[in-house]
């Protein structure tokens, strides 16, 4: 059993963890929930003894009566991987791309037991079978690039449990995965805990994930655990105000006005886009898609990675040409590159997912926000327009003189919205625009978007892999699978009574908080 007692960590004078008490029992799952920067990952690193060197640590991390914090580095090395395993968020970078999966799993065994390669590979085989990568289909000689994201995360889990550790720490293990894959990985983790009797510390920002999985939940805020208890009790009572806020934000849906059924704004007919694959085959990423977005309408486009939604988005934005079909904005044809007239281009803007990659780090905010003026010739009072746009998204006009790195993720997403608004477009494409945000920030940005839509009569195309996000902000949802639209209907209808088999799978895989806990 692992027992954290009064764990405090200070880095460069900032206290990042304060008196954290947590008990992790064998065979049970503890969810550690909080927003980014709340100290969740720092707790995991403290348990592993992987804190930065300049960190000052107080309290105890007890493993079977031994305090890990006072142990020497060589002694800790024996414990890491052997008694405590860890899996990370990003399956793409957690594995060595130049080693076969068998060798990577076997390596752990060889380090800790000095096993010879054949014996270690045999154990690796057994562990990979256990995580759902059975023999004939997944030989040990595969390389990570030959596997999908979910399969790689399974290999990472096999690595972490190779030694049958007492504690497995999973830091946002499914955040980078599709919903259906997420459900499978969570099932796998739950099964491992029950069968092998380990303790699992599941770190996540997603309340719905812990609701369905964890035995106990700890809620963390600013380095402190503000509330801890059995999952159901905690969710039902929500005694701490912060828990209450998180809970409300995760279920937040902005008030919507009645969908304005205006004339069609964007009309896509039989769009086709193919890619040539390295083998000479062709991949039809977008396969005969037709859709319409009305003026003032908010439409969601949902699908898992690789379904073609990004390719379709690029075509809509006039960045890539189509090989068949047409896209028309207000009756005028959208074309790729320079052939598209500037005044038509000016009627569409986009907000991207990643609040960190969306801005040139060397430009000041004023210049960033004013960039779309390239399409309309910069008006004389452009600085005032930038200030006004910043005010509209809830920032201060003076923020225009700052650089982008001075802003938080949520503020950056507001700046991205200001940039999209500045030339008063008719349609804004929101490409996973809130997926990277914490729940409370996400709720604020969704409110902002809903308000702007009312005041400016905007249309949204809201692209996401997550049905639950789309539900709150869209009137109509399109579900895309393998380049085709498989379902099209009102948001509630699609989520509550899905008709296409694929939509049903998506909805079933959606982690959710049981409805009777909410009351």
In eight-state DSSP terms, residue 398 is G
Stretch that binds another protein, among 82-90, 256-264, 367-375, 473-481 (CB under 8 A): 367-375
The residue (of 32 and 340) whose beta carbon lies closer to another protein is 340
CB of 50 to another protein, least distance (A): 24
CB of 369 to another protein, least distance (A): 11
Closest CA to 167 of 277, 23, 340: 23
In eight-state DSSP terms, residue 401 is G
The residue (of 3 and 371) whose beta carbon lies closer to another protein is 371
357 binds another protein (CB under 8 A): yes
Of 216, 221, 273, 419, which lies in the binding site for another protein, with binding defined by CB under 8 A? Answer: 419
Stretch that binds another protein, among 183-191, 276-284, 368-376, 508-516 (CB under 8 A): 368-376
346 binds another protein (CB under 8 A): yes
CB of 94 to another protein, least distance (A): 21
Q: Which residues contact 356 (CB under 8 A, 6 or more apart)?
A: 409, 412
- Token reading at 148: 């999908």
The residue (of 145 and 342) whose beta carbon lies closer to another protein is 342
Of 122, 208, 264, 403, which lies in the binding site for another protein, with binding defined by CB under 8 A? Answer: 403
330 binds another protein (CB under 8 A): no
138 binds another protein (CB under 8 A): no
Q: Which residues contact 338 (CB under 8 A, 6 or more apart)?
A: none
The residue (of 158 and 423) whose beta carbon lies closer to another protein is 423
CB of 89 closer than 8 Å to CB of 176: yes
CB of 130 closer than 8 Å to CB of 198: no
What letters, b where the CB count within 10 A reaches 16 and e where it falls short, cover 3-35? bbeebbbbeeeebbbbebebbbeeebbbbbbbb
Of 75, 119, 248, 319, which lies in the binding site for another protein, with binding defined by CB under 8 A? Answer: 319
CB of 368 closer than 8 Å to CB of 404: yes
Of 12, 53, 276, 362, which lies in the binding site for another protein, with binding defined by CB under 8 A? Answer: 362
Of 196, 215, 330, 371, which lies in the binding site for another protein, with binding defined by CB under 8 A? Answer: 371
Element at 285 (helix H, strand E): strand 282-294
Block residue for tokens 């980014």: 36
The residue (of 244 and 332) whose beta carbon lies closer to another protein is 332
Of 321, 361, 501, 514, which lies in the binding site for another protein, with binding defined by CB under 8 A? Answer: 361
113 binds another protein (CB under 8 A): no
Beta strands per DSSP E along 94-243: 167-171, 199-204, 216-221, 224-230
CB atoms within 10 A of CB 364: 15
* Residues at the site binding another protein, with contacts judged by CB under 8 A: 317-319, 338, 340, 342, 345-346, 348-350, 352-354, 357-362, 368, 371-372, 374-375, 403, 405-406, 416, 419
């Amino acid at each position: 059993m692992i027992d954290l007692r009064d764990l405090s960590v200070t880095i460069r004078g900032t206290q990042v963890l304060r008196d954290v008490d947590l008990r992790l029992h064998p065979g049970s799952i503890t969810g550690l929930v909080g927003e980014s920067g709340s100290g969740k990952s720092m707790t995991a690193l403290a348990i592993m003894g992987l804190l930065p060197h300049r960190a000052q640590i107080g309290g105890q991390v007890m493993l079977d009566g031994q305090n890990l914090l006072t142990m020497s580095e060589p002694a800790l090395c024996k414990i890491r991987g052997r008694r405590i395993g860890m899996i990370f968020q990003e399956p793409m970078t957690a594995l060595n791309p130049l080693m076969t999966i068998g060798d990577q799993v076997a390596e752990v065994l060889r380090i800790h037991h000095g096993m010879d390669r054949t014996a270690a590979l045999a154990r690796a085989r057994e562990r990979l079978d256990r995580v759902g990568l059975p023999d004939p289909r997944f030989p040990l000689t595969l390389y990570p690039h030959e596997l999908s994201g979910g399969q790689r995360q399974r290999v990472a889990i096999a690595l972490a449990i190779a030694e049958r550790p007492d504690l497995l720490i999973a830091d946002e293990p499914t955040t980078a995965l599709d919903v259906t894959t997420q459900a499978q990985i969570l099932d796998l983790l739950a099964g491992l805990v029950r069968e092998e009797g380990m303790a699992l510390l599941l770190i996540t920002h997603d309340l719905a994930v812990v609701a369905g999985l964890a035995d106990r939940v700890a809620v963390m805020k600013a380095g402190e655990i503000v509330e801890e208890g059995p999952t159901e009790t905690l969710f039902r009572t929500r005694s701490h105000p912060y828990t209450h806020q998180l809970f409300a934000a995760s279920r937040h849906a902005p008030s919507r006005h009645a969908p304005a059924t205006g004339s069609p704004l964007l009309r896509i007919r039989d769009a086709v886009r193919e890619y040539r694959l390295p083998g000479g085959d062709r991949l039809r990423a977008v396969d005969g898609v037709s859709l319409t977005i009305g003026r003032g309408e908010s439409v969601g486009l949902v699908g898992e990675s690789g379904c073609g939604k990004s390719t379709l988005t690029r075509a809509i934005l006039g960045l890539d040409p189509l090989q068949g079909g047409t896209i028309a904005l207000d009756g005028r044809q959208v074309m790729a590159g320079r052939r598209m007239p500037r005044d038509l281009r000016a009627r569409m803007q986009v907000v991207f997912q990643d609040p960190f990659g969306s801005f040139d780090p060397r430009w000041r905010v004023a210049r960033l926000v004013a960039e779309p003026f390239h399409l309309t010739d910069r008006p004389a009072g452009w600085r005032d327009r930038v200030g006004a746009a910043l005010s509209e998204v809830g920032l201060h006009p003076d923020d225009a003189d700052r650089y982008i790195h001075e802003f938080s993720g949520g503020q950056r997403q507001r700046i991205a919205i200001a940039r999209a608004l500045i030339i008063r477009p008719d349609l804004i494409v929101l490409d996973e625009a809130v997926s990277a945000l914490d729940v409370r920030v996400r709720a604020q940005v969704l409110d902002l978007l809903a308000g702007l839509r009312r005041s400016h009569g905007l249309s949204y195309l809201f692209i996401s892999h997550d049905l639950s996000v789309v539900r709150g902000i869209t009137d109509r949802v399109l579900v895309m699978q393998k380049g085709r639209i498989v379902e099209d209907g009102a948001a509630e209808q699609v989520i509550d009574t899905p008709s296409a088999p694929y939509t049903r799978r998506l909805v079933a895989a959606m982690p959710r908080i049981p409805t009777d806990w909410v009351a």
